[in-house]
Structure 1
Amino acid sequence: MAGERFVQFSSNKFINTNMSIHPYGSSLSHLSVEDKQDVELAQLLLAAAEKVACHQFDRGLRLLDTCQWISSSQGTPVQRTVFYFAEALQERIVKETGRSDKKQTYADACVMRNILAFVAMHQELPFFQVLHFTAVQTILESVRTKSKVHVVDFQILTGVQWPGLMQAIAEQKMSCPGGYLKITSIEMSNSHESERTGELLKSFARYLKLPFSYRVVHLSDIKDLREEDLEIDPGEEAVAVHFPFMLRTLISKPACLKNLMGVMQKMKPCVMVVSEAEANHNSPSFVSRFIEALFFYGALFDSLEESMARDDKNRTAIETGVFRTGIRNIVSTEGCERVTRSVSINVWRAFFTRFGMIELELSTASIYQASLIVKHFSSGKSCTLDVGTKCLIVGWKGTPLFSLSAWKFH
């Protein structure tokens, strides 16, 4: 509704934030007072984004001042969404004009806060448990006949996704002499979280009596990755690769992405599982990218509203540790600095096909189990699962948010 009204305002060269006197006010008559305020607020944000795109920074700042006065990091989903988008727009103006008079209200996200936010998202939102379970189930089905399994994970974080795989392998295959599970974590930061994750996974493996090894490969840049870094045992191991929300960060670095795919071609894993945001955050048009991101994050903020109290500390960790970082990167940065460049599954399909990969259809069993996971959440009724074209699309109230697909080489 805010988008439609913004178009009407723009086409009529009429901007007035007083609800009672503008010519389209009657269209809001059926809404509550809070909803009317949310529509007005979103409309102001869109107007500010347009001014920023046209380099009308003074006018944009005036609109942003109003946005920040009305919005709140503790308010409704719309108020929270606008709060962080207005903050990112203001940062973009500072970068483009060199102004430093505007006080920045955010703190740099630290690794530990992001880890806590990751754990909170996994516990509170249905999307991530669905994605993790489906990834694990797909890997398990691909290595079912193999006794030696090697998983290469490109973003292991807490490793919460792997105990289920470890338990399933321990139950199904590790009665075979010489069988084992290896996990290799690819780490591109100075954090030692991966090592701590490894100790926890090793402890769990001992409890399961599962032959298990774990190692971390530290890289300063993904372009430095070589096949020999992964220490794969050719002809012996079934290799599975897990890419959770990582490939999009390489879209701005095509040489790095090409090198990574070259390594994958040499490895020829039995399955490569890819989770990504199902959105177009890579448009060269700032306004198009802004609107796409606004719908995407608006749905995520709304999902938190149905899942957690407004003052929940985990909700705050998610919004400040993950959502804010993504919004700032999409809205306020350009060039190689802008690493959050999500594209739709159709774009990834075209890309993987160029490297001789074929898409695997997710099993009926994994989709059924994913639907059961959704039902365990109080907000599950609003979470949608679409399996029309081999991959899984996870959405919120009809808005696609994430995709999970599985691939292998010819």
Structure 2
Amino acid sequence: MKTELRGTTKPVLLPSPNLFNTPQVGSLTGGLKGCLGSLDGACIEKLLLHCASALESNDVTLAQQVMWVLNNVASSIGDPNQRLASWFLRALISRASMVCPPSTMNFHNPIQRTRTRTKSMSVTELADYVDLTPWHRFGYCASNSAILKAVQEHQKVHIIDFSITHCMQWPTLIDILAKRPQGPPSLRITVPSCRPPVPPFLNVSTQEVGARLANFAKSRNIPFDFQVINTSSCGPASDHVLSVDFYSELLLSQLSSSFLNISDDEALVINCQNWLRYLSDEPAGENTQDISLRERFLKIIRSLHPCIFVVVDEDADLASPSLSSRITACFNYLWIPFDALETFLPKDSCQRTEYEADIGHKIENIISFEGLNRIERLETGVQLVQRMNKAKFVSATFCEETLKEVKFLLDEHASGWGMKREDDMLVITWKGHNSVFAAAWVPNGSTCGL
């Protein structure tokens, strides 16, 4: 971990433990004593790991002591280190409340005991949310460029869209397709009616989103159709939030050429934005030879013979069964958005607080939960490449025009953002650290350049 990039602040003088009727910190190990009053990222990480170790060994007393220290250095309105630490502390308290008897947990701070909540946004608020950093816009830019290249000779395009950002990607693509020299194609977009229980949440239905896209496409003279994949448990007029594995089983059962009404004269595009992580990567049955839901999904996608399959996700390994490993990986990765927001939003910005709350939702799930309740099972881009090769996909390289478009996008944001190629992926970085990757794939046996 390169803690120098996170910066340091002046040490905080902690009040006497007796002032808050909390456990004495004198019993902390020597290594922890050295962190008292420090806001250095390495020391905060050490405290988090000690707390995790205490919880895993059911040492409630030590866990309380470390949480008390964290409670005094963390702040939801402080610098990036403090703000990140406050969300990890919430997650650890949430986890402790599940595994320890309530009577043994001596915390009276209502803010720290509150579970992460995120609000539902209007379409305008969601657009502002997406524009805040290149986190999502990079994926849109790289994906749209790849899609345009793949469908350039086709008059009918069908996009099956798996995304957590409610079709925010498509107005830009529709606008570009409308300007195609040979004329725009007809466009059909298919989306699932159910979604993973993760932010951002939207205060209008999927059907309303489709109606707005249809109006926009009409204004650009593009024939347009919007289709929702309805499952037996999701009605056509609602956006249900289900447990991820139950949702995934329902979704996979509906992914067939006949159900999706796929036509041979269409260019089929599969778009997967921050989605694969919510498909379990563990064997579906008791037999370790059983394939996972994620592997089943890729097998089904390959059977549909798409002309392009685009995958965008965050470039970190947050799926370890070890709590300590997840804390280390999560802390060393999610400092990126906290640090990036510090460069252009004031500490008391409501927009910043709400954006960080969505990251806090992720932290809580990664740290607080195990088993099927832990739905954030993110893998790195390198791990994805290995998975895609195993699933008999081959990568389609991004063209120079795509690189120029991504660079132009990043130039609109803070100077800390950069871009690089890695294993045929495009990766954006913050201060040299990988943040989000984009990769394009075709079934083995066909190749194209993007």
Match of 1:222 in 2: 248
Equivalent residue number for residue 190 of structure 2: 184
Contact 1:143 1:238 in 2 (8 A): yes
Which shifted more, 183-192 or 137-146?
Answer: 183-192
Query: In 2, Cα distance between the equivalents of 1:174 and 1:311?
Result: 50
Give the letter aligned to residue 236 of structure 1: D
How far apart are 1:156 and its partner, in Å?
5.7
Q: Is 2:400 the partner of 1:364?
A: yes
Alpha-carbon distance, 1:157 to partner: 3.2
Calculate the aligned-residue CA RMSD, in Å.
Answer: 2.8
Count of aligned pairs between the two proteins: 384
1:241 is displaced (CA, Å) by 0.7
Q: How far off is 1:126 after superposition?
A: 2.1
Q: Deviations over 1:101-127 (max 9, x none)?
A: 555633453561598875444211123
Query: Which aligned pairs between 1:313-328 and structure 2 lie closer than 5 A?
Result: 313-320=350-357, 322-328=358-364
Taking structure 2 as the reference length, the TM-score comes to: 0.78
Which of 147, 153, 166 in structure 1 is aligned with 2:155? 147
| Equivalent residues of 2:93, 2:113 under 8 A apart | no
Report SS of the residue matched to 1:146.
Answer: coil
1:61-210 matches, cutoff 5 A: 61-99=64-102, 102=107, 105-107=113-115, 109=117, 112-113=120-121, 119-155=127-163, 157-172=165-180, 175=183, 179-189=185-195, 193-210=205-222
2: distance between equivalents of 1:128 and 1:303?
A: 14
| Amino acid of the structure 2 residue aligned with 1:165 | L
- Unpaired segments ≥5 residues, structure 1: 5-11, 23-32
| 1:56 to 1:259, Cα distance in 2 relative to 1, 3 A | same
- Deviation of 1:357 after TM superposition, in Å, equals 0.7
Counterpart code for 1:216: V
**Which residue identity does 1:149 align to in structure 2?**
V
Q: How does 1:226-375 map to 2 (within 5 A)?
A: 226-227=255-256, 228-233=258-263, 235-252=264-281, 254=283, 255-320=292-357, 322-375=358-411
Instruction: Give, in whole Å, the separation in 2 of the partners of 1:72 and 1:2.
Output: 22
C-alpha separation in 1, matches of 2:372 and 2:64: 26
Q: Distance in 2 between matches of 1:318 and 1:338?
A: 21
Contact 1:281 1:330 in 2 (8 A): yes
How far did 1:76 drift? 0.7
Following TM superposition, by how much is the alpha carbon of 1:43 offset from its aligned partner in structure 2, in angstroms? 4.1
Residue 148 of structure 1 aligns to which amino acid in structure 2?
Answer: K
Aligned pair in 2 of structure 1 residues 144, 332: CA closer, same or farther (>3 Å)? same
Q: What letter corresponds to residue 248 of structure 1 in structure 2?
A: R
Given the superposition, is the C-alpha separation of residues 144 and 267 from structure 1 closer, same or farther in structure 2, using an over 3 Å criterion?
A: same
Where does residue 421 of structure 2 map in the other structure? 387
How far off its partner does 1:152 sit?
A: 0.6
Distance 1:68 1:108 in 2: 17
Mapped contact 2:159–2:189 kept (Cα < 8 A): yes
Aligned mates of 1:268, 1:200 — CA distance in 2:
29
One-letter amino acid of the structure 2 residue matched with residue 125 of structure 1? T
Letter aligned with residue 181 of structure 1: L
**In the alignment, which residue of structure 1 is the partner of 2:225?**
213
Show structure 1 runs of 4+ deviating over 6 A. Answer: 1-4, 114-117
Matched residues in 2 for 1:16 and 1:111: separation?
Answer: 37
Identity of aligned residues (%): 22
Amino acid at match of 2:191: S
Contact kept, 8 Å, 1:118 with 1:318, in 2: the verdict is no
Residues 150 and 184, structure 1, Cα contact 8 Å, conserved in 2: yes
Which deviates further from its counterpart, 39-48 or 192-201? 39-48
Name the aligned partner's letter for residue 268 of structure 2. Answer: V
* Partner SS state of residue 436, structure 2: strand
- Is 1:404–2:416 an aligned residue pair? no
Deviation at 1:50, TM superposition (A): 3.2
The one-letter amino acid of 1:302's match is D
Give the counterpart of 1:14 among 30, 33, 36.
30
For residue 201 of structure 1, what is the amino acid of its counterpart?
A: L
Cα displacement (A) at 1:266: 2.2
Change beyond 3 A, Cα 1:382–1:202:
same
Q: Secondary structure at the match of 2:102?
A: coil
- The aligned amino acid for 2:379 is V
Is the CA contact 1:124–1:308 (under 8 Å) kept in the aligned structure 2? no
Relative to 1, partners in 2 of residues 1:175 and 1:132: Cα closer, same or farther, differing over 3 Å?
closer
Distance 1:397 1:263 in 2: 38
**Contact residue 252 and residue 341 of structure 1 kept, 8 A:** yes
Conserved 8 A contact 2:158-2:267: yes
Equivalents in 2 of 1:161, 1:290: separation in Å? Answer: 31
